[in-house]
Structure 1
Amino acid sequence: MAGNSRRRGAMRKPGTKKGMQVGSGGQRRRGLEGKGPTPRAEDRTGHPAARRAAAKRKETAAQSARRQRPEPGRPGATETVAGRNSVVEALRAEVPVKALYVAERIDSDDRVREVLRTAADRGLAVLEAPRSELDRVTGGAVHQGVALTLPPYDYAHPDDILTAAEEAGEVPLVVALDGVTDPRNLGAVVRSAAAFGAHGVVIPERRSAGMTAGAWKTSAGAAARVPVARATNLARQLRAYQEAGLFVIGLDGSGEVEVGEAAALGEPLCLVVGSEGAGMSRIVHQACDLVVRIPIARSVESLNAGVAAGVAMYEIARARR
Structure 2
Amino acid sequence: MDDEVELPVGVGPWEGPWPSDSRYDPELLAAGDRRNVVDRYRYWRRDAIVADLDRVRHPFHVAIENWQHDFNIGTVVRTANAFLAREVHIVGRRRWNRRGAMVTDRYQHIRHHADVDELLAWAADSRLPVIGIDNLPGAVPLETVELPRACVLLFGQEGPGLSDSARAGLDLVCSIAQFGSTRSINAGVASGIAMHAWIRRYAV
Quickly name the TM-score band, shorter chain normalised.
0.5 to 0.7
Conserved? CA contact 1:174–1:269, under 8 Å:
yes
Per-residue Cα deviation, 1:77-110 (whole angstroms, up to 9, x for no partner): xxxxxxxxxxxxxxx9xxxxxxxxxxxxxxxxxx
Give the 4+ runs in structure 1 shifted more than 4 A.
none
SS in 2 for 1:302: coil
Aligned-pair identity in percent equals 30
- Kindly indicate whether the alpha-carbon contact (under 8 Å) linking 2:143 and 2:177 is maintained by their aligned counterparts in 1: no
- Residues 171 and 226 of structure 1: CA distance in aligned 2, closer, same or farther (over 3 Å): closer
8 A Cα contact 1:180 1:274, kept in partner: no
Matches of 1:276 and 1:232, distance apart in 2: 18
TM-score, length-scaled by structure 2: 0.66
Q: 1:307 aligns with which of 168, 174, 189?
A: 189
1:179 is displaced (CA, Å) by 3.5
CA–CA separation in structure 2 for the residues paired with 1:287 and 1:178: 14
Structure 2: 5+ residue stretches without partners: 1-8, 10-30, 33-50
Q: Output aligned runs, 1:63-74, within 5 Å.
A: none
Matches within 5 A, 1:1-321: 168=55, 171-179=58-66, 181-182=68-69, 184-206=71-93, 210-212=95-97, 215=98, 217-254=99-136, 256-263=139-146, 265-321=147-203
Q: Secondary structure at the match of 1:267?
A: coil
Query: What amino acid does structure 2 have at the position aligned with 1:262?
Result: V
3-state DSSP of counterpart to 1:299: coil
The answer (yes or no) to whether the contact 1:178–1:274 under 8 Å persists in 2 is yes
TM-score of the pair, normalised by structure 1: 0.43
Amino acid at match of 2:177: P
CA contact (8 A) 2:59 2:151 kept: yes
RCO higher in structure (CA 8 A, sep ≥6): 2
Q: What amino acid sits opposite 2:112 in the alignment?
A: R
**What's the RMSD between the two structures over aligned residues?**
2.5
The one-letter code sitting in structure 2 at the alignment partner of 1:256 is A
The AA in structure 2 aligned to 1:276 is: E
Q: How much has 1:298 moved relative to structure 2?
A: 4.1
Cα displacement (A) at 1:269: 0.7
Measure, in 2, the Cα distance between the counterparts of 1:182 and 1:302.
19
Shift in CA distance, 170/223, structure 1 to aligned 2, threshold 3 Å: closer
2:60 partner letter: L
| SS of residue matched to 1:240 | helix
List runs of 5+ in structure 1 lacking aligned partners. Answer: 1-91, 93-120, 123-163
CA gap of 1:180–1:195, structure 2 versus 1, over 3 A, is farther
Relative to structure 1, the CA distance from residue 239 to residue 312 in structure 2 (aligned partners, 3 Å threshold; closer, same or farther) is same
The higher radius of gyration belongs to 1
User: Hey, what's the Cα distance between the residues in 2 that align with 1:205 and 1:299?
Assistant: 31
